[in-house]
Structure 1
Amino acid sequence: MRNKGLDAQGHIEREGSLGRVPHVFRPVVAAARDRLLDVYGGRLDSAYLYGSIPRGTARVGRSDLDLLVATRREPTEEDRDAARSLGEALDKEFPEIDGVGILLYGRTRLLSEPETYDLGWFVACLCTPLLGEDLAEYLPRYRPDSLLARETNGDLALLLPRWRERIAASEDSDEARRPLVRFMSRHLVRTGFTLVMPRWNGWTSDLGEMAGAFGAYYPGRAEELRMAAASGCEPTGDARVLRSYVDDLGPWLAEEYARVHGVKAPRPDGIA
């Protein structure tokens, strides 16, 4: 029987490794590693891959390159501008990838108590070390319990107004809406999965498997999440999909999540 991503003690196993990076994506990973050192130098604490490339499931020309960068101090606007420029350059240079996403955080925040079951868990379980010290050494082991569910995705109600603003501000074209459909589809599927994660008692990053686990407990909404999983992999720019997310599926999911797990603890100084 499949172990559902857990070790023998019931902790979530770290997914991904540099050894799983498909050969075709290794040049862009190597370029990203070298350029991160050039761009951040001594300000860089550590860097990680996450997503389909280190899991070995990336598709040529369809998958994006996902990176998390930890800086020694809280990142500045200059640091964020440098990350955007680096991502745009890599995306333009390497046709094997479809976009680059770079998350940028200070080491202190990643290891802070409020982030232990959110960003800390993300680093320890979903990120593959690429450069520098592995911050997972300072973090606990994690179980697929209600605390983890609440702190990872218990903020959907706060996000929905921002999503509506992004949809309203986007250009009226399929091309402009496609990235929004992909992002929001994936977020909703992951939220639906973590809603049932403690009952399912495991972890997966496969969108189809996530939707299937959710559907076993919420059959009335199963088809919606299955379709969202498909849109997360093969997004279209259908405006009706986005409206259904922010007017129906998203609000229902936020309400049910709060009922089952509660809401995510507020972050200090208004940090989301």
Structure 2
Amino acid sequence: MAGTGLDVEGWIAREGALSRVPAAFARVVDAARARIAESFDGGRLHSAYIYGSIPRGSAILGVSDLDLLLALRSEPTEADRAAATRIEQDLDESFPQIDGVGILLLSARTLLSELERYDLGFFVACLCSPLLGDDLADQLPRYRPTPLLARETNGDLSRALPKWRRQAAEANTDQQRKALSRIVARRIVRTGLTLVMPRWGGWTSDLSESAEAFGVYYPQRAEQMRRAAVVGRTPPPVPLVLHELIDDLGPWLAAEYVTVHGEKAARP
């Protein structure tokens, strides 16, 4: 199975573009751009990005969520977070085409920092599509599917597991379980992909393709990863699903990851 997602020179290609947004989601993206511009003026906002299935052109009506990243000129404040929450709620309530909105808030300084060069920097340069402002990718390097990139993107899965266990124990509604299952499953599938990424020799954000690439190298866990890919797209509100992800596949994957690539550099 050959790796994909590279340009002719072997660099990881930027996977999304506004030109790939399906027509059914165009009004959603236009509204997001307008709401962001209204809520964050030029003195506060450096740039805004859209990522996920919508700019990749693979979004499903009524199922896919809208994912946005705002790069601010200084560290996010409580006022910034409140403004982002209002945008999330407004867009989610206004457009039945999407099932949820998530906005990440980070400073441009953090995104360009040396510590984040192979994590958030890679995220902006390769996985995010510019929506507003000057593109930070112009100040970032190009990336190949190397062990260094693998370590710094997902070498901290073990740190997420205790938080997910607490959230799973506290979840008491179907909506909470579905939301957590989606987050956990997507993270696990993408970690499975980056575990094998240097050997596979490519990049993809497609969950099914990621699971298949992983399964080539770990056939004994392939079926579990395929199930996780399904959960990442259409999560059921079933506690047993979370248990399998958090208490079985997740811990095994975290340990294997550290063995193969080492731990991600610690953050403050």
What does residue 193 of structure 1 align with?
193
What does residue 166 of structure 1 align with?
167
Give CA-to-partner distance per residue, 1:157-188, whole Å, 9 cap, x none: 111011111111211x3332111111111110
Match runs of 1:83-102 below 5 Å: 83-102=84-103
SS in 2 for 1:101: strand
SS in 2 for 1:180: helix
Distance 2:175 2:110 in 1: 35
SS in 1 for 2:71: strand
Distance 1:146 1:113 in 2: 17
Cα-Cα RMSD: 1.1
Distance 1:2 1:161 in 2: 35
Distance 2:68 2:248 in 1: 32
Distance 2:229 2:156 in 1: 20
SS in 2 for 1:113: coil
Give CA-to-partner distance per residue, 1:74-117, whole Å, 9 cap, x none: 11011011101110110001111100010110010000000000
What does residue 82 of structure 1 align with?
83
What does residue 14 of structure 2 align with?
14
Query: Cα distance 1:3–1:260, how it changes in 2: closer, same or farther (>3 A)?
Result: closer
What does residue 112 of structure 2 align with?
111
SS in 2 for 1:140: coil
AA aligned opposite 1:134: D
Q: CA deviation at 1:3?
A: 6.5
Distance 2:6 2:135 in 1: 20
Q: CA deviation at 1:233?
A: 1.1
Correspondence 1:148 to 2:154: no
Give CA-to-partner distance per residue, 1:13-48, whole Å, 9 cap, x none: 001111111111111111110110110112010000
Distance 1:21 1:71 in 2: 24
Distance 1:117 1:98 in 2: 30
Aligned 8 A contact 2:70 2:106 in 1: yes
Distance 1:63 1:5 in 2: 22
Aligned length: 267
Structure-2-length-normalised TM-score: 0.98
What does residue 235 of structure 2 align with?
235
Aligned 8 A contact 2:14 2:126 in 1: yes
Query: Cα distance 1:191–1:57, how it changes in 2: closer, same or farther (>3 A)?
Result: same
AA aligned opposite 2:168: I
What does residue 61 of structure 1 align with?
62
Q: CA deviation at 1:9?
A: 1.7
Q: CA deviation at 1:210?
A: 0.3
Q: CA deviation at 1:224?
A: 0.2
Correspondence 1:35 to 2:35: yes
SS in 1 for 2:50: strand
AA aligned opposite 2:119: D
Q: CA deviation at 1:4?
A: 0.5
Structure-1-length-normalised TM-score: 0.96
SS in 2 for 1:63: coil
Structure 1 spans left out of the alignment, 5+ residues: none
Distance 1:256 1:3 in 2: 21
What does residue 258 of structure 2 align with?
258
What does residue 126 of structure 2 align with?
125
Distance 1:205 1:176 in 2: 24
Distance 1:243 1:185 in 2: 11
